[in-house]
Copies of this chain bind each other. A is one copy, B any other.
Amino acid sequence: MSTPRVILLCGGVGGAKLALGLDRSLPSGDLAIVVNTGDDFDHLGLRICPDLDTVLYTLAGVVHPEQGWGRADETFAMLDELARRGGPDWFRLGDRDLALHLQRSLRWRRGDRLTEITADLVSQFGVHSAILPMTDDIVATRLDTAEGTLDFQDYFVRRRCAPVVREIHYDGATAASMSPAFLRALSSPRLERIVIAPSNPLLSIAPILSIPGVSDQLRKTGVPIVAVAPLIGDRAVKGPTAKLMQELGMRAGVVGVYDFYAERYPALIDAMLIDRSDGHEATAIGCVVASTDTLMQTMDDRLRVAQSVLELSVKGGRP
């Protein structure tokens, strides 16, 4: 699985919906999903990779349907027991979910690469698309907030994104390397398109792009790079995207998203897929723009957005 036609850069819940749409729209083996690992952390001695797991569970059809993360039909006997004796229960570790964390953590501590571990899990779960961690090194997203510097999960889960954010760091990024599998996927002779999922630009996509060489390597492929807007109007479908953009002095909305990518990673984005209701903003966006209903509630929604992304005609795109 090293010659994808489409590569998706992806975070957790929102991105995983598009990942599923693409996975179900493309022939087996045509999709490689590069996943943010900036949210990964150690908890209870386990190495936990929230975005990788969300993408894996979503593609395997075992994700919790309402939540969008964790397992369907989950139980919490371990966590209840832990909480009963004063242990930490702020991170909702389900019993089934634990099987995966134990498997991964064992190999992680033995020194296996996250890419290999993930590939084996992908195979165990019968998933056909490749799921690639952005790096095998440790990158940790941390946030300078009005309440001090917070680890990502501390901010995101424990504090529910409440603290006002002043700056975001991707600790370890400058010393990290793209995973070899990520590099190989980018040199696929069949590559036709790179898609940026409707994930949080600051918390899910920027960590991937913060690794040295990533944006250059993406450009070097010469294929169109299409971003799907994670906002409809000035509101994120899920999560703190809009709040965070405002706190960091950005314009919350699809134009703000485009400006963020264009300023920080010049000449990266060739086209953007935005929601139909944001059509009036198209002229303020400095690249090819197409629109559809981007809210992905049903499987049909996911397939429609996937089709729109794949068919978006990038006139004037790089050859």
List the interface of chain A (C-beta within 8 A of B).
44-46, 74-75, 77-82, 85-87, 94-96, 98-100, 102-103, 105-106, 109, 124-125
Contact A103–B82 (Cβ < 8 Å): yes
- Most chain-B CB neighbours within 10 Å: which of A85, A102, A124? A102
A71's nearest neighbour on chain B, judged by CB, is B81
Q: Closest Cβ of chain B: how far from A154's Cβ, in Å? A: 18
- The listed residue (B75, B85, B105) touching A95 by CB distance below 8 A is B75
A86's nearest neighbour on chain B, judged by CB, is B124
- Most chain-B CB neighbours within 10 Å: which of A75, A99, A124? A99
Q: Given A75-B75, A86-B124, A124-B86, do A81 and B99 touch, yes or no (CB 8 Å)?
A: yes
A102 / chain B contacts, CB cutoff of 8 Å = 44-46, 78, 82
Q: Closest Cβ of chain B: how far from A208's Cβ, in Å? A: 28
A177 to B102, CA, bound (A): 31
Further 11 A-B residue pairs, CB within 8 A, beyond A77-B77, A81-B99: A44-B103, A45-B45, A45-B106, A46-B102, A75-B95, A78-B95, A78-B98, A80-B96, A82-B103, A85-B124, A85-B125
A46 / chain B contacts, CB cutoff of 8 Å = 102
A30 to B37, CA, bound (A): 52
- The listed residue (B81, B86, B109, B124) touching A96 by CB distance below 8 A is B81
A86 to B100, CA, bound (A): 12
A105's nearest neighbour on chain B, judged by CB, is B45
A124 / chain B contacts, CB cutoff of 8 Å = 85-86
Contact A87–B103 (Cβ < 8 Å): yes
> Which 10 residue pairs of A and B lie closest in terms of their CB atoms, listed nearest first?
A77-B95, A45-B106, A81-B99, A82-B99, A81-B96, A85-B124, A95-B95, A78-B98, A44-B102, A78-B95
Q: Given A45-B105, A106-B44, do A99 and B86 touch, yes or no (CB 8 Å)?
A: no
Contact A96–B125 (Cβ < 8 Å): no
A77's nearest neighbour on chain B, judged by CB, is B95
A74 to B100, CA, bound (A): 20
A100 / chain B contacts, CB cutoff of 8 Å = 81
A45's nearest neighbour on chain B, judged by CB, is B106
Q: Closest Cβ of chain B: how far from A191's Cβ, in Å? A: 31
Contact B75–A99 (Cβ < 8 Å): no
A42's nearest neighbour on chain B, judged by CB, is B106
Contact B109–A87 (Cβ < 8 Å): no
A82 to B105, CA, bound (A): 14
A74 to B95, CA, bound (A): 12
